[in-house]
Structure 1
Amino acid sequence: MSDDEYILAGLLIVLVVLAGRTLAGRLRVPDAVVLVALGFAVSFLPGMREIHVSPHVVLLVFLPPLIYNAAFFSSPRDMRAEARPIIALAVGMTLVSAFAIAAVTYVILPDTAWPAAIALGAAVAPTDAVAASAVLKRVGAPRRVLTVLEGESLINDGVALTLFSLAVTAMVTPLTPAAGALELVKVVAGGIAYGAVVALAITWSRRRLRDGNTQLVVSLVTPFVAYIPAEMLGFSGVLAAVVAGFYLGTRGEGILPPRVRVTGRTVWQGLVMLLESVLFVLLGLQLHEVFEGVAGVPTGHLVFGAVAVIATAVLVRLVWQIWVTPVMRYLPGRLGMDPGSVRDRVIIGWSGMRGAISLAIALSLPLSIGEEEFTDRSVLLFLAAAVVLATLVGQGTTLPLVLRRLGVPKEEGHRAEVASAEVAMGRSALTRIDELLSDGLVDEQTAETYRQMHKLRVRQSRALLESEPEQRPAARRRVRGAAFLRHEISRAQREALNRMYRNGDIGHEVFQALQRELDVREPHRPQP
């Protein structure tokens, strides 16, 4: 394909992403299913079958920002409180799942070598908490469940990628247990150390940058600076990106101006959405090649293998959560942990959907081993795709039903915390207004205007906190009414601003500056 054809193909993929996400929202099915189907349909267009994505491109372009973003926006305090169950899942369960899937793959595909089977197990072992978290947050599931799932999803990627890297190395160069252990120590320790160095260097440099656009560019290149050199040095790029993202995420308040944080969050949300979606479209585009690669395998054997691997991936997690986790309370010393209620364990067990990370790992399986073609790649990629799609569709669509059957109560703690924080911030603002007025730094009229505004917000938040449980719906309606008023005021301001710009009363620079201010202050749109 020529350069122009590659550009057109890239544009078509982006259009497929936009169409797929729109269609998935209307059909109320997981985005991944629609994107894979559309990618497969587009592969019938002339020239699209010629698109081949190098495994190295998948690892170097897609993985670093996805992993860094998850680490950056994690909650260190919540993860520290649930460290033991998170580590038990992210390390223990991920390794058990990987080797169980590898064993099943080795049995159903006896011609597949152990390193290749372990590589498949490592690819589909880590879970992706994005889909599960979206459902759980919508129904108000217990916060502990969300914390464990999101913390597990952050760490298990590093565990799986490290195991995958060792398995791919073993495909070419057989490793003894001692050599494997030494390589593991080097990969893990080196990745963590290099990630820490990158984090400190980025923190030092960003504190000295004043331009918001430069700050944003630095944030976009940071995951690649952490990941790619670490891989070149033989360390774990995943762990380096996780460490850098985790550290910088906890230091963002001090090194980034508010406007840069607002812009950066928006840019990163769009980037992550695009990368995850493109991965599923690329899988659809490669299905022809996968089907051609498994054409010589009997259909019944493929279906049986897919069902066996899917069942292993799902059942190992459920068994671990329901029966293995309670035993861990009897471990000695600080290793013992609270397994949580049976209901929470079932929710966590059924929230083991595989997502974009598993897909990226599977797509990065090598095309050849030494001088020979890796003939099992198509079969392994087929099995990996089956696990990703089956868990996203099967578990993703049935998770709300599972929550209803378990009778999960809606947690109201988040709303109360928001109200408490708004009361504290409002009182602090009122105190500061009085201090500035007494020092003569502001005039009485300006101080009174802002005083009334903050008093109103404090009264609204206190009404929600102090109302009796049966009165809280009415209090929430009052708060929503105030939010609706703020939204309507903002809309009226936008109309006036647009009208002045159209009439030529203000210039483009002033229009954009005031528009950005309105964007920053824009409240979430409530229902009247």
Structure 2
Amino acid sequence: MLDIAATCLVVTALLAYLNHRFVGLPTSIGVMVTALGFSLLLVGLDAFDIVHGLRNYEESFLRSIDFSNVLMQGMLSLLLFAGALHVDLSELRAYRWQIGSLAVVGTLLSTLVVGLAMWWVLPWVGLPLPLIYCLLFGALISPTDPIAVMGILKSAGAPKDLELVISGESLFNDGVGVVIFSLLLGTLASGEAPTFAHGAELLVHEAGGGLLFGLVLGYVTFRLLRSIDSYQVEVLITLATVMGGYALASRLHVSGPLAMVVAGLIIGNHGRSMAMSDTTRHHLDLFWELLDEILNAVLFVLIGLEVILLQFSTGIATAALAAIVVTLLARTLTVGVPISLLHARFGLPKGAAQVLTWGGLRGGISVALALSLPAGPEREILVSLTYCVVVWSILAQGLTIAGVVKRTVRT
């Protein structure tokens, strides 16, 4: 495990240096581009029997990493907490119904739209899949990834209210997406369709339990921070809150991602203003910002390197193009159209619908969920499709979202 962590950090540091020194892209995108380029270079060299062993080494290294477990049980809790820590709760509360409707209703509708559309499209390219697998794809690809979204928005220059809604939606809809995915995965395992009552019960238990657990966890941590004044101990308490809280949420079978978001919001707002000295705030912000940047870079490097494990064919390439179009169409129908029709009710600037549609980036969470599917040919197809959508999302949409903001948004 230590060797894997050391290798990841060394590779990430080298690629971050190359990006900063020669490429000049935002760090998250830049390291993924360089990692992706490196993997594709190895594939090309291997095809001509050049440095054959280097590709084999990268493949064996990546297979030794359980990407799904590393992200969902390790990195995700830290990244979500770090992202929520800097969201203003008073501003978030002003857009609570907009964020809630996009995160819950939008994710549910998008799952259905993507699932049904792919179920209809895939037979045309010679890759028919059962409806349940198509719905699973819809559930894992519909949530926007807070890690990708918040990293890109820092440099996009979007108006504050628009940035707040996109960030808030991305922080909460991944928890909803994981609940839907879990319900569908249970259906696949049992072979029995869930009843509405069972689905509602699971949603309340997972999502509602996660929100409640996050409130309790955040309050307890707030009380601990308020009782002392030692930035070393207080930073350690927040780190223990995230690691221990996420592990306990898994044992309680409630949504760990939602719990981390709520705890981060409480500590980042009430904790920051009422339980910390200026010195503690400075060190806490510095610690979590650095940790967020480092983990983001490592995650995007792993996404870039993972391409070497995928098996592509003409059918997969055609299906991937279809999946990209379908996910963009679903995002337009479930987010863009409602915001355009209810523009006054949403209270967002003109052009918000285009930005929210194009800014719906997918990332590591989608890849991790796809990799958690049971082994089989269906899994291999969905992993390849997910990877292509994620890479398109981060590169094509992530690199152009700032231009979309400048061209379309009118305050």
Fold agreement, TM-score > 0.5: yes
Partner residue in 2 for 1:460 = none
Partner residue in 2 for 1:262 = 282
Q: Which amino acid aligns with 1:183?
A: L
* Residue 360 of structure 1, CA deviation: 3.7
Partner residue in 2 for 1:161 = 178
Q: Which amino acid aligns with 1:353?
A: L
Q: Quick one: structure 1 residues 168 and 386, their matched pair in 2 at CA, closer, same or farther if it must change by over 3 Å? A: same
What SS class does the counterpart of residue 376 from structure 1 fall into? helix
Q: Quick one: structure 1 residues 402 and 239, their matched pair in 2 at CA, closer, same or farther if it must change by over 3 Å? A: closer
Partner residue in 2 for 1:354 = 362
2:130 pairs with 1:118: no
Partner residue in 1 for 2:6 = 11
2:264 pairs with 1:245: yes
2:247 pairs with 1:235: no
2:104 pairs with 1:99: no
Partner residue in 1 for 2:87 = 74
In structure 2, C-alpha distance between the alignment counterparts of 1:56 and 1:187, rounded to whole Å: 19
Give unpaired runs (5+ residues) of structure 1: 1-5, 330-335, 412-528
* Residue 236 of structure 1, CA deviation: 1.4
In structure 2, C-alpha distance between the alignment counterparts of 1:338 and 1:195, rounded to whole Å: 27
CA contact (8 A) 1:94 1:160 kept: yes
CA contact (8 A) 2:118 2:326 kept: no
CA contact (8 A) 1:99 1:118 kept: yes
CA contact (8 A) 1:36 1:284 kept: yes
Q: Which amino acid aligns with 1:189?
A: G
* Residue 97 of structure 1, CA deviation: 2.1
- Equivalences for 1:18-29 in 2 at 5 Å? 18-25=13-20, 26-29=22-25
- Any idea what the Cα deviations from partners look like across 1:476-500, whole Å, max 9, x if unmatched? xxxxxxxxxxxxxxxxxxxxxxxxx
Structure with larger Rg: 1
Q: Quick one: structure 1 residues 276 and 117, their matched pair in 2 at CA, closer, same or farther if it must change by over 3 Å? A: farther
Matched residues, number: 383
More moved, 311-320 vs 31-40: 31-40
Question: Highest relative contact order (Cα 8 Å, sep 6+), 1 or 2?
Answer: 2
Q: Which amino acid aligns with 1:21?
A: A
**Counterpart selection for 2:189 from 143, 156, 172:** 172
2:308 pairs with 1:306: no
- Equivalences for 1:74-223 in 2 at 5 Å? 74-107=87-120, 108=122, 112-127=129-144, 128=146, 129-137=149-157, 141-173=158-190, 174=192, 175-223=194-242
Q: Quick one: structure 1 residues 273 and 192, their matched pair in 2 at CA, closer, same or farther if it must change by over 3 Å? A: same
* Residue 231 of structure 1, CA deviation: 1.9
**TM-score (normalizing by structure 2):** 0.83
**Counterpart selection for 1:393 from 392, 395, 398:** 395
In structure 2, C-alpha distance between the alignment counterparts of 1:145 and 1:84, rounded to whole Å: 14
**Counterpart selection for 1:63 from 65, 76, 88:** 76
Q: Quick one: structure 1 residues 386 and 145, their matched pair in 2 at CA, closer, same or farther if it must change by over 3 Å? A: same
More moved, 8-17 vs 106-115: 106-115
* Residue 61 of structure 1, CA deviation: 0.2
Q: Quick one: structure 1 residues 313 and 258, their matched pair in 2 at CA, closer, same or farther if it must change by over 3 Å? A: same
Partner residue in 1 for 2:46 = none
- Any idea what the Cα deviations from partners look like across 1:355-410, whole Å, max 9, x if unmatched? 333344334x14x3xxxx3432222121111111101111122233334443x57x
CA contact (8 A) 2:114 2:327 kept: yes
In structure 1, C-alpha distance between the alignment counterparts of 2:65 and 2:384, rounded to whole Å: 16
Partner residue in 2 for 1:489 = none
Partner residue in 1 for 2:51 = none
CA contact (8 A) 2:303 2:364 kept: no
In structure 2, C-alpha distance between the alignment counterparts of 1:161 and 1:269, rounded to whole Å: 26
More moved, 103-112 vs 141-150: 103-112
CA contact (8 A) 2:207 2:258 kept: yes
In structure 1, C-alpha distance between the alignment counterparts of 2:396 and 2:304, rounded to whole Å: 19
Q: Which amino acid aligns with 1:122?
A: A
Task: Calculate the aligned-residue CA RMSD, in Å.
Answer: 2.7
Q: Quick one: structure 1 residues 348 and 189, their matched pair in 2 at CA, closer, same or farther if it must change by over 3 Å? A: closer
Q: Which amino acid aligns with 1:162?
A: V
**TM-score (normalizing by structure 1):** 0.66
**Counterpart selection for 1:345 from 318, 335, 353:** 353
